[in-house]
C-alpha cells in the first residue's frame, strides 16, 4: 500500500477515499435501456466453442449442438427489417406454427447464460436486430416505453434472449405472456434461461393455478432444453475465502482505485430506494465492491433485491470483498427451502465466485 493511501485512523485525502453505492441514485433513460440490451461484459466474448461441457453430462454437449443449429436457422428476410416494415404497413406476418423459441432449463452454474449469450453472438443478424436482457430488464423496458412501443421496438428483431426468466407475480405473468405472444406473431424468435420449466413458472410464489392459461401460453412458445450438471463455478476449485475483518476490507477499499466501500445493512436499505432495473447503472465503473458487517438478510423482499444486485455484479465481473457472515449464510433456511430457493442458491454461487476474485485485493 502506498504512503499516500489512507483509511480510517489516518487522514484520508479526498482523492483516495473510496466510492459508495449508497451515494448513487442513477436515472436510466429509455434509450439506454434499449442500447444496453446486449450480453453483459462477462459474456461479451463467449462463444459455443468456449463452452466446456462436462463429459459426465451429455445434455451439455447436446445443448451446444442444438443451439448452434437453432442460430443457423434464424436467417431470412426478417433480419433485414422486413418485419418492421410490415408492422408500419399494417400487415402482420403469418404466425409461425410450433414453438418459436428454446428454453434452457437447469440448475444454477451449468452455463445457461454462457449458452444464451453464445446463441446471441452466433445468430446471423446485426446487433441492432438482436436483443439480450434479463427478465427484470425486459419488464422495465415495457415500463419505460409502454407496451405498444416495446412491441414496435422489438418486432423487427430476429431474436430476443431473456436471461433469468422468472415470474414472481401475476401481473408479470400477464404482461410477459402478452408481449411474447405479440412478438412471436411478428416472427421474432425467443430464447430464455431459467431454473424452472416454463409450465412451472410462478409455482410456490403466487397462486399460479389462477393464471394457468397465461403460463401455458408462455410454455407453448418454447421448446424446453434440459441442461444437467453441477455448478461450474465450483467445479474443481478451492472453497471461497472466509470473510475478512472490517479493517482488512476498509484498507483494501482505500488501496483500490474505483472501489466502493459500504456498510452492508446500509446498502440493503439503499437498495429499497433504487428500482432493481437500475442496479446495473448503480455499479457503473466500479472496480470492486467492499462490504463491512455482512449479516443475514432480514426478509424476502430484501433478499430478492440482493439477488438482482449479485447478478449485476457478476455480469460485470466486479469482485466483492466482505467482512461479517460468509455468503452461504445470507439467507435463512426458510428462504432456501421456499419458492425462490433457486434464485438464492444462484446468488450464493455468484457471490462466492466474486469473493474468490477479490482475494488479491487484500495485502498479503
> What pTM was estimated for this model as a whole?
0.76
25 vs 174: which has the higher pLDDT: 25
pLDDT tens digit string along 6-16?
Answer: 455 444 443 47
* Virtual torsion, Cα 254, 256, 259, 261, nearest 10 deg: -30
CA distance 357 to 240: 9
Residue 14 has a CB neighbour count (10 Å cut-off) of 6
| pLDDT, mean over the chain | 82
pLDDT of the residue at 108? 72
pLDDT of the residue at 234? 61
CA distance 242 to 254: 21
The pLDDT confidence band at residue 27, using thresholds 50, 70 and 90, is confident
3-state SS, the chain, equals CCCCCCCECECCCHHHCCECHHHCCCCCCHHHHHHCCCCCHHHCCCCHHHCCCCCCCHHHHHHHHHHHHHHHCCCCHHHHCHHHHHHHHCCCCCCCCCCCEEEEECCCCCCHHHHHHHHHHHCCCCHHHEEEEEHHHHHHHHHHHCHHHHHHHHCCCCEEEEECCCCCCHHHHHHHHHHHHHHHHCCCEEEEEECCCHHHCCCCCCCHHHHHHHHHHHHHCEEEEECCCCCHHHCCCCCCCCCECHHHHHHHHHHCCCEEEEEHHHHHHHHCCCCHHHHHHHCCCCCEEEEEEECCCCCHHHHHHHHHHHHHHHHCCCCEEEEECCHHHCCCHHHHCCCCHHHHHHHHHHHHHHHHHHHHHCCC
The pLDDT confidence band at residue 214, using thresholds 50, 70 and 90, is low
pLDDT at 351 over 70: yes
Average pLDDT over residues 174-182: 87
CB 227 within 8 A of CB 192: no
pLDDT of the residue at 10? 45
Locate 342 and state its grid cell.
433457486
Q: Over pLDDT 70: what percentage of the chain?
A: 78
Average pLDDT over residues 282-301: 96
pLDDT at 22 over 60: yes
pLDDT tens digit string along 258-290?
Answer: 999 999 999 999 999 998 888 999 999 999 999
CA 47-227-117 angle, 5° bins: 25
pLDDT tens digit string along 58-105?
Answer: 999 999 999 999 999 997 544 334 433 333 334 444 444 457 789 888
Select from 89, 102, 95, 87 the least CA-distant residue to 156. Answer: 87
pLDDT tens digit string along 136-173?
Answer: 888 888 988 999 999 999 999 999 999 988 766 566 77
CB 340 within 8 A of CB 348: no
Amino acid at each position: 500500500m502506498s504512503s499516500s493511501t489512507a483509511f480510517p485512523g489516518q487522514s484520508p485525502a479526498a482523492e483516495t477515499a473510496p466510492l459508495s453505492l449508497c451515494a448513487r441514485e442513477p436515472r436510466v433513460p429509455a434509450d439506454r435501456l434499449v442500447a444496453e440490451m446486449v450480453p453483459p461484459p462477462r459474456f461479451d466474448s463467449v462463444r459455443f466453442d468456449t463452452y466446456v461441457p462436462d463429459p459426465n453430462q451429455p445434455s451439455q454437449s447436446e445443448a451446444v449442438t442444438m443451439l448452434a443449429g437453432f442460430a443457423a436457422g434464424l436467417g431470412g428476410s426478417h433480419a433485414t427489417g422486413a418485419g418492421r416494415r410490415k408492422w408500419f404497413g399494417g400487415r402482420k406476418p403469418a404466425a409461425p406454427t410450433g414453438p418459436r423459441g428454446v428454453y434452457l432449463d437447469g440448475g444454477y452454474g451449468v452455463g445457461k447464460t454462457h449458452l444464451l449469450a453464445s446463441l446471441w453472438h452466433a445468430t446471423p443478424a446485426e446487433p441492432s436486430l438482436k436483443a439480450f436482457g434479463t427478465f427484470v430488464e425486459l419488464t422495465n423496458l415495457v415500463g419505460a416505453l409502454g407496451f405498444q412501443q416495446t412491441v414496435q421496438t422489438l418486432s423487427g428483431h430476429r431474436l430476443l434472449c431473456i436471461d433469468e426468466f422468472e415470474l414472481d407475480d401475476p401481473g408479470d405473468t400477464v404482461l410477459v405472456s402478452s408481449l411474447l405472444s405479440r412478438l412471436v406473431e411478428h416472427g421474432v424468435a425467443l430464447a430464455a434461461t431459467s431454473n424452472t420449466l416454463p409450465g412451472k413458472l410462478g409455482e410456490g410464489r403466487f397462486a399460479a393455478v389462477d393464471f394457468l392459461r397465461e403460463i401455458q401460453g408462455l410454455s407453448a412458445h418454447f421448446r424446453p432444453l434440459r441442461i444437467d450438471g453441477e455448478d461450474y463455478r465450483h467445479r474443481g476449485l478451492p472453497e471461497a475465502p472466509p470473510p475478512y475483518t472490517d479493517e482488512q476490507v476498509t484498507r483494501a477499499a482505500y488501496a483500490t482505485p474505483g472501489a466502493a466501500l459500504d456498510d452492508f445493512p446500509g446498502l440493503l436499505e439503499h437498495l429499497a430506494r433504487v428500482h432493481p432495473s437500475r442496479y446495473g447503472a448503480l455499479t457503473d465503473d466500479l472496480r470492486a465492491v467492499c462490504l463491512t458487517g455482512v449479516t443475514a438478510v432480514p426478509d424476502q423482499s430484501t433478499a430478492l433485491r440482493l439477488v438482482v444486485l449479485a447478478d449485476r455484479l457478476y455480469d460485470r465481473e466486479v469482485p466483492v470483498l466482505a467482512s461479517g457472515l460468509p455468503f452461504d449464510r445470507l439467507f435463512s433456511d426458510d428462504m432456501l427451502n421456499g419458492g425462490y430457493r433457486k434464485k438464492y442458491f444462484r446468488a450464493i454461487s455468484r457471490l462466492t465466485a466474486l469473493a474468490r476474485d477479490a482475494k488479491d485485493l487484500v495485502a498479503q
